[in-house]
Amino acid sequence: MTDPHLTVITHPLVQHKLTIMRQKDVSTAGFRRLLREISLLLAYEVTRELELTTTTIETPLCRMQAPTLEGKKLALISILRAGNGLLDGILELIPAARVGFIGLYRDPQTLKPVEYYCKVPALDQRMTIVVDPMLATGNSVVAAIDMLKARGARNLRFLCLLAAPEGVARMREAHPDVPIFTAALDERLDEHGYIVPGLGDAGDRMFGTK
User: CA 101 to CA 117: how far, in whole Å?
Assistant: 7
Q: Name which position in 74, 134, 145, 147 contacts ligand URA (CB under 6 A).
A: 134
- Binder of ligand URA out of 6, 160, 168, 195 (CB under 6 A): 195
Residue 106, annotated as binding a ligand: yes
184-185, strands of its sheet edge to edge: 134-135, 162-163, 184-185
For the CA atoms of 191, 197, 202, 206, the dihedral, rounded to the nearest 10 degrees, stands at 140
Gyration radius from the chain CA atoms: 18
Q: Is 110 a catalytic residue?
A: yes
Smallest gap, in angstroms, from Cβ of residue 186 to ligand URA? Answer: 9
The mark string for 76-115 relative to ligand URA (x by CB under 6 A, - otherwise) is: ------x---------------------------------
Q: Which stretch binds ligand URA (CB under 6 A): 58-66, 89-97, 150-158, 194-202?
A: 194-202
Beta bridge partners of 127: 155
Residue 167 sits in the site that holds ligand URA (CB under 6 A)? no
The CB-of-166 to ligand URA minimum distance in angstroms stands at 11
CA distance 169 to 185: 12
Beta carbons of 117 and 80 less than 8 angstroms apart: yes
Indicate which residues carry an active-site annotation: 106, 110, 201, 204
- Contacts with ligand URA by CB under 6 A lie at 82, 134, 136, 193-195, 198, 201-203
